Amino acid sequence: MSTDHRARTEELLADYRSSRERLATVHQELDGISESARSGDRAVVVTVGSQGRLCELTIAEDAYQRYRPAELAATIVELATQAATGVTERAGDVLSPFLPTGTDPRAVLEGRADLDAECPRDRAVAARDDNGVGATELEDEEPLAEGGWLQDGTAKRSHP
Q: What is the per-residue pLDDT across 92-110, written as a single tens digit (0 to 9) for each?
A: 888 888 888 888 888 888 7
Taking a C-beta distance cutoff of 8 angstroms, is the pair 87, 52 a contact? Answer: yes
| pTM of the predicted protein model | 0.60
Please, are residues 46 and 56 in contact by the beta-carbon 8 Å criterion? yes
Span 33-52, pLDDT tens digits: 999 999 999 999 999 998 88
Q: Which domains does the chain have, with CATH numbers?
A: 31-118 (3.30.1310), 120-158 (no CATH)
pLDDT band at 160 (very low <50, low <70, confident <90, very high): very low
For position 117, what pLDDT does the model report? 53
